Amino acid sequence: MKYISTRGKAPALTFSEALLAGLAPDGGLYVPETWPSFTPGEIAGFKGRPYADVAFEVMAKFVDGEIADDILRAMIDDAYGTFHHPATVPLVQLGPNNWLLELFHGPTLAFKDVAMQILARLMDHVLTETGKRLTIVGATSGDTGGAALEAFKSCDGIDTFFMYPHGKVSDFQRRQMTTVGAPNCHAIAVDGSFDDCQSMVKSMFAHEAFRERVQLSAVNSINWGRIMAQVVYYFTAATALGAPSQKVCFTVPTGNFGDIYAGFVARQMGLRIDQLVIATNENDILTRTRATGVHKLGKVRPTITPSMDIQISSNFERLLFEASARDADLVVALMRDLRKGGSYTLPEAVQSFIADNFEAGAASEAETLAEIGRLYRETGYLCDPHTAVALHVARQHAKPNVPMITLSTAHPAKFPDAVRDAIGKTPHPPEWADIAKDRAETVTRLENNQRDVEKFVLAESRLGSGQNVRDPEGNP
Ligand SMILES: *Cc1c(COP(=O)(O)O)cnc(C)c1O
């Protein structure tokens, strides 16, 4: 299977190539040339199987033989062996036909673990096969950095650096980044904002000599490997509740459009999903786009659901490609309008495709807090604010005879302030996650200065410091 760019001007790549490339050289995102699919009988066969079994069946369709089955299977077992629940991503019932899919039982209590854990292993495997190394540099406002550093710590071929704004992430999030305890993983506290960190990453990618020397790479949510991993739980959750003979609905708290796009991919692969509901916070650009066909950037408003505080949802481009019947020229034109004038208007056929395939709704800050409180009073269940946004929206789309599955993307202990504001109680992390409390923190504090950060990456990475000869035995 080949992977093509949504902007149509980049050569088609193999799975392994697309995995390492991330973004296409024409600025587009990679998607499979054709959609693989399952028959209703095959989908029915997923019911009740271990998560890793279904993960293997789904991912094998996209890997398409490029990695030997037994190796792929071992990587999947390893990746999901890090999860602290025998069901990996368990379903919890909140009411009649009302279900929560808990995606936060991974090592950093965030749904990002589901994709990062397997992405790290896949990338390391492909690099090792070709005797290469690379260096990942990223910026994080909290969650992604922890999940990435944790996932990439055992990768011999990869040095990983994550910058975060000093003093602006929670203690819990900081500790997750600073207690990884691996020589190839580095947390950098920058004296600046998240935007400062982000813009330094962009400048480093534009700095060719640096980029080439360290073989700079990124693990942001546009990587096809991350999308692929997220398709799996749509199949496990839907079949657990009776698919394919029973249709189900999903509501997904949305930021970069990666998670909900994976649901769309599951549908392309044959899963019968009744409604796919986009849930946003007050940054509701996607909800407005669906309703009006006009995609107009505003200012990002900071909310109690920071992982959804996004105006540019990168993966939305993949949906535009599909909604326009894969018209790459149209995608290029829309992206140019967005860059130049801060907005684009969808052709009617594209807008109606999106409106036919997705429902959408938004929750205000007050509604989000009220939802945490209501759920706690009714069921005793504590949810995180991102999950609460989705539960609020899901309630407005509930249908009497169709199970509604809301994706729960973080453990409430990751966002204790919002939960305390809602119910006056502080949520606690599970005991195993508290272990990090005893570990020493390792972090490098740097000024908001690209030169200083590059110097640090050059000194600490194996490619930058000239130790890029790989041991044939595979030792670091
Ligand atoms: C990343 C994230 C989201 C949004 O997921 P997208 O794939 O970016 O839409 C929602 N909730 C939490 C807690 C997240 O970390």
Q: Which tens digit of pLDDT belongs to each residue from 208-219?
A: 999 999 999 888
- pLDDT interval class at 471 (50, 70, 90): low
Burial class of residue 452 in the structure, from the number of CB atoms within 10 Å of its CB (0-12 exposed, 13-18 middle, 19+ buried): middle
Find how far residue 49's CA is from the centre of its chain. 24
Burial class of residue 417 in the structure, from the number of CB atoms within 10 Å of its CB (0-12 exposed, 13-18 middle, 19+ buried): exposed
Measured in angstroms, how far is the CA atom of residue 143 from the centroid of ligand 1? 9
Ligand 1 site, residue 257, Cβ cutoff 6 A: yes
Ligand 1 site, residue 263, Cβ cutoff 6 A: no
Measured in angstroms, how far is the CA atom of residue 156 from the centroid of ligand 1? 28
Residue whose CA is at the smallest distance from ligand 1 atom 1: 307
Ligand 1 site, residue 88, Cβ cutoff 6 A: no
Measured in angstroms, how far is the CA atom of residue 255 from the centroid of ligand 1? 5
Instruction: Please answer whether residues 46 and 57 qualify as being in contact, where contact means their C-beta atoms are separated by less than 8 angstroms.
Output: yes
The pLDDT value given to residue 445? 97
Find how far residue 55's CA is from the centre of its chain. 16
- Taking the CA of residue 257 as reference, the ligand 1 atom at the shortest distance is 9
Tell me which of 103, 111, 220 to substitute to probe ligand 1's pocket, judged by most ligand atoms within 8 Å of the beta carbon.
111
Instruction: Reduce the DSSP state of residue 445 to 3 states and report it.
Output: strand
> How are beta strands 294-296 and 343-345 bridged, if at all?
antiparallel
Ligand 1 site, residue 147, Cβ cutoff 6 A: no
Is CATH 3.40.50.1100 the right assignment for the domain spanning 133-220+443-476? Answer: yes
Ligand 1 site, residue 450, Cβ cutoff 6 A: no
Whole-angstrom CA distances from 230 to 161, 184, 361, 416 are 24, 26, 22, 26
Say how many Å lie between the first and final Cα of the chain, rounded: 32
d(CA 95, CA 396): 15
Residue whose CA is at the smallest distance from ligand 1 atom 8: 256
* Known active-site residue 112: yes
- Taking the CA of residue 260 as reference, the ligand 1 atom at the shortest distance is 9
Ligand 1 site, residue 409, Cβ cutoff 6 A: yes
Measured in angstroms, how far is the CA atom of residue 472 from the centroid of ligand 1? 39
Measured in angstroms, how far is the CA atom of residue 470 from the centroid of ligand 1? 36
Ligand 1 site, residue 112, Cβ cutoff 6 A: yes
The pLDDT value given to residue 427? 93
The pLDDT value given to residue 476? 43
In the block, tokens 């969808």 appear at 346
Is the pTM above the cut of 0.85?
yes
Q: Is the pLDDT of residue 337 over 90?
A: yes
Measured in angstroms, how far is the CA atom of residue 309 from the centroid of ligand 1? 10
Ligand 1 site, residue 255, Cβ cutoff 6 A: yes
- Taking the CA of residue 259 as reference, the ligand 1 atom at the shortest distance is 7
Measured in angstroms, how far is the CA atom of residue 451 from the centroid of ligand 1? 31
Q: Is the pLDDT of residue 73 over 60?
A: yes
Q: Is the pLDDT of residue 357 over 90?
A: yes
Domain range summary for the chain, segments of one domain joined by +:
74-110+224-431, 133-220+443-476
Q: Give the range among 212-221, 272-281, 352-361 with minimum mean pLDDT.
A: 212-221
Q: Can you name the CATH fold of 74-110+224-431?
A: Rossmann fold (3.40.50)
Exposure string of 264-303, with b = 16+ CB inside 10 Å and e = fewer, is bbbbebbbebbbbbbbbbbbbbbbbbbeebebeeeeeeeb
DSSP states of 94-105: EETTEEEEE---
78's enclosing H/E stretch is helix 69-80
- pLDDT interval class at 435 (50, 70, 90): low
Tell me which of 103, 254, 259 to substitute to probe ligand 1's pocket, judged by most ligand atoms within 8 Å of the beta carbon.
259
- Taking the CA of residue 258 as reference, the ligand 1 atom at the shortest distance is 7
Please provide the average confidence, as pLDDT, over all residues in the chain.
94
In the block, tokens 């190839």 appear at 184
Residue whose CA is at the smallest distance from ligand 1 atom 11: 409
Ligand 1 site, residue 308, Cβ cutoff 6 A: yes
> What percent of the chain lies above the pLDDT cut of 90?
84
Q: Give the range among 164-168, 216-220, 253-257, 384-388 with minimum mean pLDDT.
A: 216-220
Token digits for 311?
């105006």
Measured in angstroms, how far is the CA atom of residue 113 from the centroid of ligand 1? 11
- Taking the CA of residue 112 as reference, the ligand 1 atom at the shortest distance is 15
**95 bridge partner residues:** 98
Tell me which of 173, 281, 386, 408 to substitute to probe ligand 1's pocket, judged by most ligand atoms within 8 Å of the beta carbon.
386
Instruction: Please answer whether residues 276 and 265 qualify as being in contact, where contact means their C-beta atoms are separated by less than 8 angstroms.
Output: no
Q: Is the pLDDT of residue 128 over 50?
A: yes
DSSP states of 153-164: TT-TTEEEEEEE
Instruction: Please answer whether residues 142 and 410 qualify as being in contact, where contact means their C-beta atoms are separated by less than 8 angstroms.
Output: no
Instruction: Please answer whether residues 413 and 276 qualify as being in contact, where contact means their C-beta atoms are separated by less than 8 angstroms.
Output: no
Ligand 1 site, residue 253, Cβ cutoff 6 A: yes
Instruction: Please answer whether residues 177 and 145 qualify as being in contact, where contact means their C-beta atoms are separated by less than 8 angstroms.
Output: yes
The C-alpha torsion from 147 through 108 and 156 to 444, rounded to 10°, is: 70
Same fold, 74-110+224-431 and 133-220+443-476: yes
H helices within 112-257, ranges in order?
A: 112-130, 143-152, 171-178, 194-206, 208-214, 224-240
Residue whose CA is at the smallest distance from ligand 1 atom 15: 307
> What percent of the chain lies above the pLDDT cut of 70?
97
Selecting among 2, 9, 61, 112, the annotated active-site residue is 112
Ligand 1 site, residue 386, Cβ cutoff 6 A: yes
- Taking the CA of residue 262 as reference, the ligand 1 atom at the shortest distance is 7
